[in-house]
Structure 1
């Protein structure tokens, strides 16, 4: 991001703030007068968590540096807060409307479908770089993440709203996703991939509930739903990797990962079955004890679901591998002027203030192995084209990687216009075979009238 107040951040935190104000009003004043539902306590807690994540994110960028993906502590804290907000709204709508008592009252059901579609959006955000570039989608961890999130949401929809709700939720998400892509493209912003689209997995869940003599409130339903989703998911995503991405998955890795992914899908579906049962109970004004047999059974079931959630999230932790610092030859440096400057290590918006000044400066950056290479060349920026040409005429660059110099004279240069109207020129050199781990890049800028300035970047390269 260019700044904390970038348009996506402003839009996101405006929504978070609106939720916080509504929750605070409902709990502090509206609850006494109108009986505001207790689900807003959950939304209020999510608001506080999201605010904490925003503050931590700003601190992280100032004191640590650029994080290449969502899987950093500040982002995960903020995402967890927004998930609690959505879940709180689901329970608040169910409790306030008691829609289950009136079969033809569709408005609350539609609202819940949109809330559940929002949870799918959040799960796609949690997929991070897998939704930014399909090249790096692995046959094991990527399906595992999908199996961790999607069944819980889709089975919740079916259990709380009936057969067809999972597919309806997926369709709503897909329509919203397409609209978001079009808006981002209209504003010339980077867009995520079109896939994964969860309509077929959702349809599989609905068909399992409709076709088999297993009612959606049976404990066997999440087992069959998890198996069906896993089969459809692997078929759909493997076909996409072959036909659209051109990077087929290794069948041996698929076979090795499939049992674990299926077990994850079953566990996630069971969590969704419990969550959907709770929503249905609230919507009917029925105590959870009656749904699960007794109050003790309800508490034990909810505790088991929470434990399963914690286990799944813990299993999702994958520390990135690290190799020793690489030689210049091992990084496969090559000329390239077609890269996206936002992927470049040397991006002015993310380097420390004052890096142009004489002296030594330091920065931390992250990059991910995505098949496109990592742009490593230095850059120089000015307010306009004449100013850039004037400053470059008296500026010379040098680059060393892990202490080994790089001959920059043999690489082309490319100029780009930034969002603020300024112009920048990059040396077009890209690492085509980056290795996971830490690499030290030392950039030096020498100007005729000033002492040299240098910036040492600790670059952490992560596996896909």
Structure 2
């Protein structure tokens, strides 16, 4: 009897804890993080779809998943904004941001609503664009630029929603709520990093990974996000967890996509395929992320410009050799196996391209050119690291 009583008590206690967490963390926060996941997965799937099938209409499965993310984020965030604006108490309104003199809501919810409008507006715009001008020559056509902006706004809104909840609760959180928010912060930041990488992925093609331009672009983009996330995180290893989520999300798509059949539907077909071709295997951002977390933990209160220079140097020193030598594995026979997925090749590309499994000589750096280029990368990274520190400091103070 005592055992049954104890079991019942434990079950009731766990249910009470779960209810408490759900009440403390608003539902729209969970919804926006899930929407960010839909966008990240849908984007990778869409790239694989274009590599394997070609353009296949507005309502292709990956497009539906991406727009589902927009609908979920917009719907849940919109309901939250409308409820606060028209039925919220004075206290709720005082704890929110006023917009257009009518609407009240959290900053994250506002970003998600704007992002959803941008994404859903881009859908018919993109369909009209293709019907009028044909296939895109470049990735960033006007409708794609609008779509990309909307996706980033939703993902940024999801991350801001989580960190605002963290900052607002502060030390009041119990262990279970803290654990939920910690991983939601890592997930939302990691999905945003997937999007950021995709935007600059044309500089990370396999045969370019021995060129200094790749590492200059990396120094321009990634310290900004790794440093801001680490600096704003109330938990240890914020950047490391962000990089882990990015790594797993990208790698999972590499492992899963080839399991499904696909064949080209749009000519010309130079490389006939029967399976989905995966996108890039993740770059080794986990290596500099660990080093950045340790550095920020130790020197957080150092002069910000000095700290930015140190963090930039750390990023270049840790990321460059790690990715440089890892790229040699990727381009070898080992990299062409199922794990790394570098057999991947679009149906519209010549499979006999001479630099498919070689580093392109025009994108290979040696000697002084390499050293000079990496010094420039440190300079670029110092500026973006300083912005990242300011951004992280701002995020630490967001409570609305």
Higher share of residues assigned helix? 2
Where do 5+ consecutive residues of structure 2 fail to align?
Answer: 1-54, 93-104, 261-274, 332-357
Distance 1:3 1:155, change over 3 A: same
Counterpart of 2:214 in structure 1 is 142
- The aligned counterpart of 2:225 is 153
Distance 1:94 1:175 in 2: 22
Structure 1 residue aligned with 2:318: 232
Structure 1 residue 165 displacement after superposition: 0.9
Residues 48 and 130 of structure 1: CA distance in aligned 2, closer, same or farther (over 3 Å): same
1:88 to 153, 157, 170: 157
Whether 2:33 is the aligned partner of 1:33: answer no
TM-score for both structures, normalised by structure 2: 0.63
Match of 1:272 among 388, 394, 397: 388
In structure 2, distance between residues paired with 1:137 and 1:57: 32
Find the counterpart in structure 1 of residue 307 from structure 2.
221
What is the alpha-carbon root mean square deviation over aligned residues? 2.6
Instruction: Give the alignment of 1:151-300 within 5 angstroms.
Output: 151-161=223-233, 162-187=235-260, 188-210=275-297, 212-215=298-301, 218=304, 220-245=306-331, 246-247=358-359, 249-251=364-366, 252-283=368-399
Aligned length: 282
- The separation in 1 between residues aligned to 2:373 and 2:291, in whole angstroms, is 21
As a proportion of its length, which structure holds more strand? 1
Alignment equivalent of 1:58, drawn from 96, 102, 127: 127
Contact (CA 8 Å) 2:240, 2:286: kept in 1 or not? yes
Are residue 107 (structure 1) and residue 162 (structure 2) matched? no
Q: 1:43: which partner in 2?
A: 112
**TM-score calculated relative to the size of structure 1:** 0.55
Deviates more, 1:69-78 or 1:224-233: 69-78
Distance in structure 2 (CA, Å) of the matches to 1:142 and 1:50: 29
Residues 310-355 of structure 1: per-residue CA shift (max 9 Å, x gap): xxxxxxxxxxxxxxxxxxxxxxxxxxxxxxxxxxxxxxxxxxxxxx
After superposition, the C-alpha distances for 1:111-149 in whole angstroms (9 at most, x for unaligned) are: 111111011100121024345x41244724332332222
Distance 1:8 1:138 in 2: 32
Provide the secondary structure at the position in 2 that maps to 1:51: helix
Cα distance change of structure 1 residues 96 and 250 upon mapping to structure 2, 3 Å threshold: closer
Match of 1:412 in 2: none
Q: Distance in 2 between matches of 1:156 and 1:272?
A: 4
Measured in 1, the distance between the counterparts of 2:216 and 2:123 equals 28
- Which of the pair has more CA radius of gyration? 1
Deviations 1:77-129 (A, max 9, x none): 21121111122222222334524334742222221111110111001210243
Structure 1 unaligned spans of 5+? 286-464
Match of 2:68 in 1: 14
**Pair 1:62–1:115, CA change in 2 (3 A):** same
Contact 2:243–2:289, Cα closer than 8 Å, also in 1: yes
